[in-house]
């Protein structure tokens, strides 16, 4: 497809149309050939955006831009940075519009890989757009990437076990710590969390008002030694050591397995876990679906399973790390106007609504109602509103790539002295954040 396009752009737009109509059904009947008509490419990551939404984008785009076509290509999350690194600077092969993981955004916004979207900011939603995501897509005060969708993480728990121990969902972080510590036995974690799992662990830092890093005058400083951050890290250390049986080296664990009953009705491996909302569909009792396959029932037994948002230090909600994506236009795109038209469709009320209906948190907070009204939807919206992202520093990708926080959290989980570790890692992280 790309080769066809590359060759054709140089020759004539008409050629593009004929070349592409074979691949795209139903779009080339009229064939109105205007000078600027072209084919643009949108890269979406993973299977998160459902087919229904993709079709909507293609058909709407083609209706609103007669003669032009939209090709959606699916990229894999694991490879997206590599592929963007090679393709974005290559004007002949660049995708026009790309989805990018929220914490990956700074890597590209800070080196001018994306087109400045500041002029469109108000039109596409302005201050209604999810602030933490807008922030992470900004560089030098300009908007380069805007929020596409968000997910959120909250606590899943075994209501039966909590009730049997006479406990209710906690209202403060300290209550949570006490409860899950009391629920731990040799065979069962009160709260299952791996030692290296800093993406869940940083909630304790945020809940105490701490930060991982701050910026001043363009210089980033790692702030692990800030008293509030240390307080949070020490609380997390106590929770891990008191409530979790998961090894200190684990991260990205499929925690949802822990909450299910073992084979032959054996007790579950954990009373509480922290996970993204979709974990729900991997939790519950075994049942048979329409196609006769064994599946989990999605926590149908509300006496047995439940959820709650991680409470803050003094009540309210603790800020959690929010997953999700931003969307941006390649700076080398040869069709910036068409690309902007596509963004207009993505940020239209109809499309934002559709995101919500499919369980994706819409980038524009006006439409979060579309997620629904059940407990899962409301908890997702609440936690997302209180969510926080990792620092938008140019060297953030380097910090993640070197697994620095994994190491730090493992050392803390193993009982290291938090103050000492914080000082040691501040020294290591600060230069990395600033790109060297």
Partner 1 sequence: MSATTTGVPGPVAAQPARSGTPALPTAARTRRGAPGGRTARRVRRALLGLLALVVAAVWAFPVYWMVLSSVLPSARLRASTPTFLPTSATLANYRSVLDGDGFGSALRMSLAITGVTVVAVLAFAFLAALAISRFRFRGRLTFVVAVLFVQMLPAEGLFIAQYKMLSSTNLLNSVLGVSVLYTAAVVPFTIWMLRGFVAGVPIELEEAAMVDGLSRTRAFLRITFPLLAPGLVASGVYAFLQAWNEFTVALVALPAESARTLPLWLRSFLASSANRGVDWGEVMAASTLIAVPVIVFFLIVQGRMTSGLVSGAVKG
Partner 2 sequence: MTSTAARPAPAPAARPAPRPRRRGPRLTPYALLVPAVAVLAAGLGYPLFWQVVTSLQEFGLAQQFGQPPTFVGLDNYARIFTDDRLWAVVVRSIVFCLVNAFLTVGTGVLLALLMKAVHPVVRVVLQVGLLLAWAMPMVAAVTVWKWLFDWRTGVVNWLLVQLGFDSYAGHAWLAQPLSFFFVATVIIVWMSVPFVALSVYAALTQVSDEVLEAARIDGAGPSRILWHITLPLVRPVLSIVLLLQIIWDLRVFAQIKLLQDGGAPVSETNLLGNFIYETGIGRQDFAGAAAVSIFVLALTVLLSWPYVRSLLKEDAR
Chain residues in the site for partner 2 (CB under 8 A): 81-82, 85, 88-89, 107-108, 111-113, 194, 196, 245, 247-253, 257, 269, 395, 397-398, 400-403, 406-407, 410, 435
Bridge-based pairing of strands 39-45 and 69-75 is: parallel
Among partner 2, partner 1, none, residue 229 binds (CB under 5-8 Å by kind):
none
Handedness of CA 272, 273, 278, 283 (dihedral sign): negative
* The entry of partner 2, partner 1, none that residue 245 binds, CB within 5 to 8 Å by partner kind: partner 2
Q: Min. distance of Cβ 82 from partner 2 in angstroms?
A: 6
DSSP per position, 56-82? HHHHHHHHHSTT-EEEEEEE-GGGHHH
Which CB sits closer to partner 2, 82 or 118? 82
The Cβ of residue 127 has, within 10 Å, a number of other Cβ atoms equal to 9
**Phi, psi (deg, nearest 5) at residue 42:** -120, 125
If contact means CB under 5 to 8 A according to the sort of partner, which of partner 2, partner 1, none does residue 325 touch?
Answer: partner 1
Measured CA to CA, the distance from residue 201 to residue 173 in angstroms comes to: 13
Alpha helices in 252-363, H assignment, sequence order: 256-259, 336-346, 349-357
Count, residues in the chain: 436
The answer to whether residue 248 forms part of the interface with partner 1 (CB under 8 A) is: no
Least distance between partner 2 and beta carbon 282 (Å): 14
Nearest to 307 by CA among 383, 361, 199, 252: 383
| C-beta separation of 307 from 155 below 8 A | yes
Residue 54, binding choice from partner 1, partner 2, none, Cβ under 5 to 8 Å by partner class: none
Q: How far is the CB of 80 from partner 1 (least distance, A)?
A: 9
Q: Using CB distances below 5 to 8 A depending on partner kind, what does residue 111 bind out of partner 1, partner 2, none?
A: partner 2
Q: Which is nearer to partner 1, 264 or 303 (CB)?
A: 264
Cα gap 9→83, rounded to integer Å: 22
Contacts with partner 1 by CB under 8 A lie at: 1-3, 6-7, 23, 45-48, 73-74, 76-79, 82-83, 85-87, 90, 92-93, 149-151, 254, 256-257, 262-264, 266, 269, 276, 278-279, 282, 286, 291-296, 323-325, 359-360
């Amino acid at each position: 497809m790309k080769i066809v396009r590359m060759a054709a752009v140089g020759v004539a737009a008409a050629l593009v149309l004929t070349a592409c109509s074979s691949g795209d059904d139903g779009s080339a009947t009229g064939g109105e050939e205007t000078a600027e008509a072209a084919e643009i490419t949108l890269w979406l990551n993973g299977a998160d955006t459902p087919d229904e939404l993709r079709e909507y984008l293609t058909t709407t785009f083609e209706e609103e831009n007669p003669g032009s076509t939209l090709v959606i290509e699916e990229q894999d999350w694991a490879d997206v940075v590599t592929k963007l690194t090679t393709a974005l600077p290559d004007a002949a092969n660049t995708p026009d519009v790309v989805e990018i993981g929220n914490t990956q955004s700074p890597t590209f916004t800070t080196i001018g890989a994306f087109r400045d979207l500041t002029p469109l900011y108000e039109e596409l939603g302005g201050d209604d757009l999810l602030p933490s995501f807008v922030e992470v897509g900004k560089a030098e005060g300009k908007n380069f990437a805007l929020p596409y969708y968000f997910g959120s993480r909250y606590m899943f728990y075994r209501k039966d076990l909590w009730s049997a121990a006479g406990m209710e969902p906690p209202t403060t972080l300290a209550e949570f710590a006490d409860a899950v510590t009391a629920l731990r036995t040799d065979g069962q974690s009160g709260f299952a969390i791996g030692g290296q799992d800093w993406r869940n662990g940083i909630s304790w830092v945020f809940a105490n008002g701490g930060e991982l890093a701050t910026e001043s005058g363009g210089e980033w400083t790692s702030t692990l030694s800030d008293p509030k951050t240390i307080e949070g890290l020490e609380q997390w250390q106590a929770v891990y050591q008191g409530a979790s049986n998961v090894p200190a080296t684990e991260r990205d664990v499929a925690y949802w397995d822990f909450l299910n009953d073992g084979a032959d009705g054996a007790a579950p491996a954990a009373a509480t876990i922290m996970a993204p909302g979709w974990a729900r569909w991997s939790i519950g009792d075994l049942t048979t679906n329409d196609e006769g396959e064994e599946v989990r029932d999605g926590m149908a037994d509300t006496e047995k399973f439940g959820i709650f948002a991680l409470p803050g230090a003094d009540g309210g909600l603790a800020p959690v790390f929010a997953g999700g994506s931003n969307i941006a236009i390649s700076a080398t795109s040869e069709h910036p106007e068409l690309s902007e038209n596509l963004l207009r469709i993505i940020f239209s009320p109809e499309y934002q609504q559709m995101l919500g209906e499919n369980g994706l948190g819409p980038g524009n907070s006006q439409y979060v109602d579309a997620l629904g009204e059940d407990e899962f939807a409301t908890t997702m919206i609440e936690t997302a509103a209180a969510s926080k992202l990792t620092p938008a520093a140019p060297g953030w990708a380097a910090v993640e790539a070197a697994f620095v926080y994994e190491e730090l959290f493992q050392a803390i989980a193993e009982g290291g002295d938090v103050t000492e570790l914080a000082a040691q890692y501040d020294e290591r992280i600060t230069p990395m954040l600033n790109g060297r």
